[in-house]
Structure 1
Amino acid sequence: MTEVKKQKPGNSVLGLFKEIFNWYPSSYPAAERKLLFKLDLSILIFACLCFFVKFLDQTNISNAYVSGLKEDFALNGNELNYFNVCYYVAYVIFQVPGMLLMSRPQLSRWLLPTLEVLWGICTFAQSRVTNVHQLYALRFLVGMLEAPVFAGTHFILGSWYSGPELFKRAGTWFICNPLGSMISGYLQSAAYTNLSGVGGMEGWRWLFIIDGIFTLPVALLGFIVFPGVPDSPKPFYFTSDDIALARARLARAKIRKPGPLNLDVFKRSLARWHIWIFVLCYICMIIGGYPTSYMNLWLKAEGFSVVQINQLPTVTYAINILASWLGTTLATIYPSWTIYTGATGGMVFSGICMIVWNIPKALKFVAWYVFGVSGCLSPILYSTVNTVVKGDSEERALIMGSMMTFGYSFNIWVPLLLFPTAGPNGAPRWRIGWPVAMTFHILLWAGFITSLLLHRRE
């Protein structure tokens, strides 16, 4: 049901296993396999590290909140939601401008590494805040600087890769989302246990310092190896033949290179169904997935220790990693709607458990962990956008930026209504929020299936 050319795994489990790990098909010429390897070493490694530290930072604020920040600043209301509001307001405002800049060949090579340096500085600064208002301001700056990273990386991947190779790499890259969240939990646990009081600082402050230490070397690597788009200035490790082959691959896959950036981009994008369906899908994904990352709040309410609160949710992230990598890979072999349907079924199961709520604690753990199967939903959706809209580079950038803009604009105010931290409907019970989240996961599935049907009709 998609344009992706499905690979044939053969009739055996061994054939399927080989196809899953077949990143450099023998049917490709040697020069093309070498080019893919160079792209993986440059784009994929930097993008994975960049995404890892981004989600390390994004999860830090929640882990810091349950590891002493709440008590140190006497936070007893919805401050955790307000931290996220500050972050996502900036994230929304700078999303489309950042994406359009990413589509410019002269800028795309340097934009992400430069932003990495700046948000590393802001991450260090979060370790030295003395009041909650300083933290609000820094979360805004971090959101502004991180805005183009997620959709921008998908755009870069779609500018070099196509078909099954794109899906596999998008899924591999996306595992750095849960991996960053997972490592953050272990780092916060270690910081709370071993670094509390060192240098006169609480343990939660050290997590931001550790994050900043990770960030700056990643930025330096980006300046050296990140290639931008094929029409960007050539990095040292690419030969002229490599660039010529990359452009020939784009022409063969009918991926159009960047053109003029003018008002016509908006006119033609709004006149097509792509932006409307894909933006709606991402809004549903954001709302439906919001509460699934707050298992630590449930653990805190249940009276688990700080170490357990930081470590037990990492199982969800491990499942997320497996689902992201395996789900996107299987989507190159089997129809992507089957993978989406299976993952949505898991989300509905966990949603029902949370709505009922009064269930055995062991089943509650299972429900939290099954939420991890959602890891394949986002990379499959964005790879589908790259595939469906490959003929218009500017429309593709605008759609991805708009998905993030409108998706996270809902993240600014919906959590305050549906997922408050305190109150009778507050975390982690969310009597109103859980039914709404499950409904939006079903709507996401319906929107994704609709996009495949419309694309097949075209």
Structure 2
Amino acid sequence: MTEIAKDKKRLGLVGLFKEVFNWYPSEYPAAERKLLFKLDVSILVFACLCFFVKFLDQTNISNAYTSGMQEDFGLYGNQLNYLNVCYYTAYVIFQIPGMLLMSRPKLARWLLPTLEVLWGIVTFTHSRTTNIHQVYALRFLVGMLEAPVFAGTHFILGSWYGGNELFKRAGTWFVCNALGSMVSGYLQAAAYTNLSGVGGMAGWRWLFIIDGIFTIPVAFLGYVIFPGVPDSPRPFHLTADDIALAKERLVRFKVRRPGPLTADVFKRTIKRWHIWVFVFCYICMICSGYPLSYMNLWLKSEHYSVVQINKLPTVINGINIVASWLGTTLAAIYPSWIIYTVVESCCIFSTICMIIWDIPTGLKFFAWYLYGVAGCASPILYSAVNTIVRDDSEERALILGSMMTFGYSFNIWVPLLVFPTAGHYGAPRWRRGWPFILAFFFLLWSGFVTSVWLHRRDQRRKAAQAVVESESEGSSADGEAAIVAVEEPKV
């Protein structure tokens, strides 16, 4: 065991607190700490703002539905599910093409800002719709334009950061998922209270205008500061020495830079276990996570006020923010499968409460809010992919895109069958839905633990092979093993 590993095992509460906030390790040279700061300011600032407005938009449609759209358009069937189907169909179709484009250095720097400008324009257009069919079409366009954002940002993070750095940045970035959802609730409550009737428009229409106002400036900021990947055209704030150091870091973390995009990428990817296990994990995550953002439907069925319907679910988002940041940070310090076990156990407990259903109102609120701890599940999973598949940039991009494609393809049809909006099996009781997601929470945990076990098996085989090769060359096996242990990012 290396000295670094021993130090981590000896961490007390004070040491753990310091490690949580240790983003710029003192053992790094000054130039490397400065580079990390520049990357945080450019990549994380844009990525967080981009992700914030993306989830602001995704949550807006549900908040608009429960805040007047349903009544204005006479929607009393499964139209909310159909809106999501339109969005996720486009999201699925354009996922892998978008990710493969993201892996191209010349496009990586400009793709996300350009898509954001376009979806900002489409977001504005939502406010002028006159019937549900127009909203269906706009949701399809937004899904198409937002497709590469989530997995693409994980790919960008994995192209600059490595090891424990990656987990911490991914968790901080994912905070903006919950933050966007939380702000959407407060914005809709404010719009309903203060803007209803202004300009002759309902409050829910103003929500899309506000969203568009947020989106366009973020896109233009991206054109200025977003660096793409290390082989992309150099932005003004990174010097030639910064880029050279960034590429040296990739060698240290064993992250392979982009190569030719050929048919061999698909052949070698399907021959390895990575894509099969990680796609399975993400399918389970999508299937188990669908109803977690619909606490507002339960509140509406209990006849809470419109303001309460928009504000009370934001507690889930607040817990999600803390969990996204703290959970991924702890996963950078301790074995990630332990953090995953805690998270999935909490979700399983909440789901059992929902299956029983006839429980005290306070316990039901607790169960809804406890789902917030699932905030770190996705960034830990994606950070694991970036870490485990760091030696093949094209395979990594294909896996990240495939996870989104196949995962969200289930969002096209599963909600219609398992999570209908109306009827005996409809929201929020979901007599079939809650048992359904209970199974998938368990399968998600099983899949993630399996991926960790398979990776460690592969590393043991590589280490054994390295020892044999070093012995055949007359080298010190212990020295070689120590180097491997020091350089190997933890999962």
What is the TM-score when the length of structure 1 is the normalising length? 0.98
| Secondary structure of the corresponding residue to residue 112 of structure 2 | helix
1:119 and 2:119 correspond: yes
Question: Partner of 2:360 in structure 1?
Answer: 360
Distance in 2 separating the partners of 1:78 and 1:44: 37
Aligned to 2:265: 265
Q: Distance in 1 between matches of 2:301 and 2:283?
A: 29
Q: Which residue of 2 aligns with 1:218?
A: 218
* Alpha-carbon distance, 1:8 to partner: 1.6
Q: Is 1:436 aligned with 2:436?
A: yes
- Distance in 1 (CA, whole Å) between partners of 2:301 and 2:185 is 17
Distance 1:217 1:251, change over 3 A: same
Given the alignment of the two structures, is residue 174 of structure 1 paired with residue 174 of structure 2, yes or no?
yes
Deviations 1:88-137 (A, max 9, x none): 00000000000000000000000000000000000000010001000000
Cα drift, residue 13 of structure 1: 1.2
Q: Secondary structure at the match of 1:8?
A: helix
CA distance in 1, matches of 2:68, 2:321: 28
CA contact (8 A) 1:52 1:176 kept: yes
Equivalent residue runs for 1:34-113 within 5 Å: 34-113=34-113
Task: Supply the AA of the counterpart residue of 2:448.
Answer: F
Match of 2:287 in 1: 287
Measured after TM superposition, the shift of residue 184 of structure 1 is 0.1
Q: Distance in 1 between matches of 2:405 and 2:238?
A: 34
Trace 1:26-425 onto structure 2 (pairs within 5 A). 26-425=26-425
Q: Percent identity?
A: 76
Do the aligned partners of 1:327 and 1:339 also contact (CA within 8 Å) in 2?
Answer: yes
Corresponding position of 2:469 = none
Shift of 1:15: 1.0
Q: Is the 8 A contact 1:6 1:164 kept in 2?
A: no
Distance of 1:385 and 1:274 partners within structure 2: 8
CA–CA separation in structure 2 for the residues paired with 1:435 and 1:370: 17
On the 8 A contact 1:5/1:163 being kept in 2, the answer is no
RMSD, aligned α-carbons: 1.0
Count of residue pairs the alignment pairs up: 455
Q: Bigger relative contact order, structure 1 or 2, given CA contacts below 8 A and separation 6+?
A: 1
Q: Which moved more, 1:7-16 or 1:269-278?
A: 7-16
Q: Could you tell me which amino acid in structure 2 is paired with residue 440 of structure 1?
A: F
CA–CA distance in structure 2, aligned partners of residues 387 and 10 of structure 1: 24
1:165-191 deviation per Cα after TM superposition (whole angstroms, max 9, x unaligned): 000000000010010000000000000
Are the counterparts in 2 of residues 10 and 16 from structure 1 also a CA contact under 8 Å?
Answer: no
Using the alignment, how far apart are the partners of 2:272 and 2:430 within structure 1? 37
CA distance in 2, matches of 1:41, 1:297: 38
Cα distance in structure 2, aligned partners of 1:302 and 1:282: 32
Distance 1:141 1:12, change over 3 A: same
CA contact (8 A) 1:94 1:147 kept: yes
Give the aligned residue type for 1:125. T
Q: What are the superposed Cα offsets for residues 362-391 of structure 1, whole Å, 9 maximum, x if unpaired?
A: 000000000001001000000000000000
Within-5 A mapping of 1:442-457: 442-457=442-457
Distance 1:371 1:48 in 2: 22
What stretches of structure 1 move > 3 A for 4+ residues in a row? 4-7
The 1:258/1:172 distance shift into structure 2, 3 A limit, reads same
Counterpart-to-counterpart distance in 1, 2:58 and 2:184: 9
Query: How far has the Cα of 1:7 moved from its partner?
Result: 6.9
Given that 1:6 and 1:333 are in contact with CA atoms closer than 8 Å, whether structure 2 keeps it comes out as: no
Q: Alpha-carbon deviation of 1:12?
A: 2.5
> Which amino acid is 2:395 matched to?
E
Alpha-carbon shift at residue 14 of structure 1 (Å): 1.3
Residues 211-246 of structure 1, C-alpha deviation per residue, up to 9 Å, x if partnerless? Answer: 000000000100000000000000011111000000
Q: In the alignment, residue 385 of structure 2 is paired with which amino acid?
A: V
Q: Aligned-pair distance for 1:11? A: 3.9
Question: 1:122 is matched by which residue type in structure 2?
Answer: V
User: C-alpha separation between the residues in 2 aligned to 1:79 and 1:455?
Assistant: 43
CA–CA distance in structure 2, aligned partners of residues 50 and 11 of structure 1 = 35
Instruction: Write the deviation string for residues 408-451 of structure 1: whole angstroms up to 9, x where unpaired.
Output: 00000000000000010000000000011011010000000000
Q: Which has the larger radius of gyration?
A: 2
Return the alpha-carbon distance in structure 2 between the equivalents of residues 345 and 252 of structure 1: 36
- Evaluate the alpha carbon distance shift between residue 32 and residue 9 of structure 1 in structure 2; reply closer, same or farther with a 3 A threshold: farther
TM (normalized to structure 2)? 0.92
**Using the alignment, how far apart are the partners of 1:365 and 1:305 within structure 2?**
16
Structure 2 residue identity aligned to 1:198: V
Write the deviation string for residues 33-57 of structure 1: whole angstroms up to 9, x where unpaired: 0000000000000000000000000
Consecutive unaligned residues of structure 1, counting only runs of 5 or more, are none
Q: Indicate the SS of the match to 2:43.
A: helix
Structure 2's unaligned 5+ residue stretches are: 459-491
Partners of 2:64 and 2:356 in 1: how far apart? 30
SS in 2 for 1:175: helix
Distance 1:13 1:284 in 2: 34
Aligned residues of 1:316 and 1:372 also touching (Cα < 8 A): yes
